[in-house]
Amino acid sequence: MLEAQSILEVAVAAPVMGVFDYRAPHTTDGPLQPGQRVRVPFGRGTRLGWLVGSKAASDLPEHRLRRVLSVLDAEPLLPPDLLRMLVWASRYYQQPLGEVLGAALPKALREGRDIAQGEMHWALSAEGRSADPDILRRAPAQLRIHAALRACAAPATAADLEVVSSNWRRALAALAARGWITAGRATAVLPIADIAPDRPPVLTADQVQAVAQINAAQGFQCFLLDGVTGSGKTEVYLRCIAQALAANRQSLVLVPEIGLTPQLLERFQRRFPVPIALLHSGLSDGERLRAFTAASDGSAAIIIGTRSAIFAPLLRPGLVIADEEHDPSYKQQEGWRYSARDLAVWRARELGVPLVLGSATPSLETIENAHSGRYTRLVLASRTGAAGQPRVSLIDLRQHAAREGLTQPLLAAIRRHLDAGGQVLIYLNRRGYAPVLMCPACGHVLECKRCDARMVLHQQRGQLACHHCGSERPVPAACPDCAGELKAVGQGTERLERALAAAFPDQQIERIDRDTTRRRGEIERRLNRVRKEEARILMGTQMLTKGHDFPRVTLVGIVDADQGLFGSDFRSAERLAQSFIQVAGRAGRAEHPGEVCLQTLFPEHPLLRVLISEGYAQFATLALEERRQAGWPPFACLALLRAEASQRPQVFSFLQAAAALAREHAPAGLNVLGPAAAPMERRAGRYRGQLLLQATSRRELQQLLPAWRAAVASIESQRRVRWSLDVDPVDLF
């Protein structure tokens, strides 16, 4: 509780660091508590803010202290654990607290609206219960409603009464007039799915071990659940959630992609007849608010969500899970650039509950944390079904010419698996028809006018599109320089689909990439056609590698294994290894043995060799050793200052000034690298540059950041650039 006589500290919803001092409002309805929203005068207007603390005196002179205008919430919107985490995160990420708090709340609350009002519901009053319904003889609708309410154990909602009588509102009003009805509002009614329950399988020995260790955790403990795809990680989550439910505790489950939530939701609903809240970016503001409220008032027993669900307030927390913890989409890439996976560690610690990080391809950071003993590693060594690990073969593109991207051995393998009744998955992580459109006569390549990038040919739409800034233009009929005929070079999924259709004219092909799944629900429709085996050839981009379960896929074909083999980012090898293992893991789940074919120009490449012959764990060991020697994370901590402007010199004069300030303040051992141009220097018509800070420890980096950020914010030229600071960047561009 905060002292109303003292000075209140308010985080204001504005892009400014620090908290502001205010005097308490003249009158309040209840006690002042951290986490309540307030309205305050700010500049010449008013702003929303959050009470975060109080103190005896302000540094400001008395006459400059302004007063809180009003308190919006009777109870704090943010529980203390969440508030503490966000205050910490604001400092760690050097992001204004008001913006951090705003990012953590549904839009409706950020805009000052009230917490969700639950649905109305009705029940019989004591009088209504003991009354003799015979006097309703002449009012059949009232009679039916009365009988229905008497029959239900829980209060009835509008939907319940609608079924009883279409005239229910009038009948209900008449009963209420007799004093027979009590009305209320549910805190936030979440439906419990009406779905056939599943029968839990008998756990494997590895699963038993994992479940026992997690369930034995006393308070906070962090687990890495390291299990190959199909080894039953989700089943382990379900068992731990069951224990949490039995103890009347909530579980928070993070998944990287919105596409994964429907599948997972159904699996959870089959197991648990309890209210489950979903939190993801596809919700309307109202739905999001309801899910937030249901988490907060405890009516949701399980909360499943993507990145921002890490901010769900929990009334009775028991367990936090982050599935596919290696997935880069846990990192927010604009505005406040937090990592939901990293915040999950803080959150679970604040809540005093166990955290489970699951993956078939854990991030190197997490593996290192397990090595050092900070996390407990739990291994699920083999798949649950009879399938075993898929057999992998390389197809050497120097020996087998590809036509339209497909070699004879790959085509033969596809035919073989289709003939045997299997499904095949063909992976190419490049959408569009072709990545390059060029003129063979003069060498002209069609490029984006606003980016340092080539235009991608989208033949079906008749457009050239830039995948970086989104600009599009019609495909020219001929070379703009020499009027020669243009040629599409390379493969995208659109072209590959056509090639597959030509090779397998009797097969339906399901292509899944961002172009074919723009419409709401489209991805689910396509996946369903695959699950029902209406389509036997499934193809597409990265979207396919994300946790979807295709029990009848027996062959995975990787069309271009060399994509990303020579990437410039220090994480490219890790990313490549992860997507390779993840897509290969789609082959041969359940009872069907699998095969993976990959086409490559570099069959001797050490990365491919290690992955194929020794597996991800060995790859990770080698990659970690390289990181250690090169001084990259997890053996270093990074912060990246990005800047962009319409003119190149503005970017560099700002970054040079920032670099000079960093060198001036830097503790020994902290490297200031750059400034340098971004790997793609011009994007959407703006020039981009960056400065990298590389420290040997978090503490060292955190020592520099607050003062340095403040100094950067007051560089004279900062007004002419757009800049942002990214602590623990996942991409160096």
Binding residues vs Zn ion (CB under 5 A): 448, 450-451, 466, 468-469
36, 54, 231, 493: which one contacts ligand ADP (CB under 6 A)? 231
Measured from the CB of residue 681, what is the shortest distance to Zn ion in angstroms? Answer: 12
The answer to whether 227 contacts ligand ADP (rule: CB under 6 A) is: yes
Distance of CA 660 to CAs 291, 674, 701, 715, Å? 47, 10, 16, 11
Query: Positive or negative CA dihedral for 694, 698, 704, 709?
Result: positive
Quick check: 229 binds ligand ADP (CB under 6 A)?
A: yes
Q: Say which entry of ligand ADP, Zn ion, none residue 694 contacts (CB below 5 to 8 A, set by partner kind).
A: none
362 binds ligand ADP (CB under 6 A): no
For position 261 contacting ligand ADP by CB under 6 A, the verdict is: no
Answer for the pair 309, 280: CB distance below 8 angstroms, yes or no: yes
Q: Which H or E run includes 11?
A: strand 7-12
Shortest CB 466 distance to Zn ion, Å: 3
Considering the complex, state which of residue 526 and residue 546 has its C-beta at the smaller distance from ligand ADP: 546
State both tokens at 323: 């599935």
The correct pick among 234, 542, 578, 600 for binding ligand ADP (CB under 6 A) is 234
Shortest approach of Zn ion to residue 438 CB, angstroms?
17
**Measured from the CB atom, is 213 or 463 closer to ligand ADP?**
213
Interface with ligand ADP, residue 230, by CB under 6 A: yes
For ligand ADP, give the closer residue by CB, 234 or 306.
234
d(CA 253, CA 291): 14
Backbone angles phi, psi at 101, to 5 degrees: -65, -40
**Residue 142 interacting with ligand ADP (CB under 6 A):** no
DSSP state, 201?
P
Q: Determine the Cα–Cα distance for residues 92 and 86; give it in Å rounded to an integer.
A: 10
Nearer to ligand ADP, 370 or 725 (CB): 370
Q: Per-residue x/- marks for ligand ADP, 180-209, CB under 6 A?
A: ---------------------xxxx--x--
# residues contacting ligand ADP (CB under 6 A): 14
Q: CB–CB of 146/136 below 8 Å?
A: yes
* Residue 203 touches which of Zn ion, ligand ADP, none (Cβ within 5-8 Å per kind): ligand ADP
Residue with tokens 């809540």: 351
- Contact window for ligand ADP (CB under 6 A) among 186-194, 231-239, 328-336, 692-700: 231-239
**Binding status of residue 232 toward ligand ADP by CB under 6 A:** yes
The pair phi, psi for residue 372, each rounded to 5°, is -75, -5
Residue 325 vs residues 212, 284, 330, 337, 366: alpha-carbon distances, Å:
21, 26, 8, 17, 9
| 361 binding ligand ADP? (CB under 6 A) | no
Residue 60's nearest CA partner among 139, 122, 7, 114 is 7
Task: Respond yes or no on whether the N-terminal peptide bond of residue 675 is cis (omega within 30° of 0).
Answer: yes
Q: Which is nearer to ligand ADP, 366 or 650 (CB)?
A: 366
Copy the structure tokens of residue 19.
């908290």
User: Are 275 and 299 within 8 A, CB to CB?
Assistant: yes
Q: Which stretch binds ligand ADP (CB under 6 A): 47-55, 228-236, 509-517, 644-652?
A: 228-236
By C-beta, is 235 or 513 nearer to ligand ADP? Answer: 235
Q: For 653-673, what is the HEC assignment?
A: HHHHHHHHHHHHHCCCCCEEE
User: What tokens appear for 293 in the block?
Assistant: 């409220």
| Residue 233 touches which of Zn ion, ligand ADP, none (Cβ within 5-8 Å per kind) | ligand ADP
How far CA 507 is from CA of 26, 460, 592, in Å, comes to 74, 20, 21
Choosing among Zn ion, ligand ADP, none, which partner's interface includes residue 466 (Cβ < 5 to 8 Å by kind)?
Zn ion
Cβ closer to Zn ion: 55 or 473?
473
Closest separation in Å from C-beta 202 to ligand ADP: 6
CB of 456 to Zn ion, least distance (A): 10
Q: Given the rule CB under 6 A, which of 17-25, 93-101, 225-233, 559-567 is the region that contacts ligand ADP?
A: 225-233
627's contact among Zn ion, ligand ADP, none, with CB below 5 to 8 A by partner kind, is: none
Q: How would you label 155-186 residue by residue, b for 16+ Cβ within 10 Å and e otherwise?
A: bbbeebbeebbeebeebbebbeeeebbbeeeb
Task: Using CB under 6 A, list all residues that contact ligand ADP.
Answer: 201-204, 207, 227, 229-235, 384
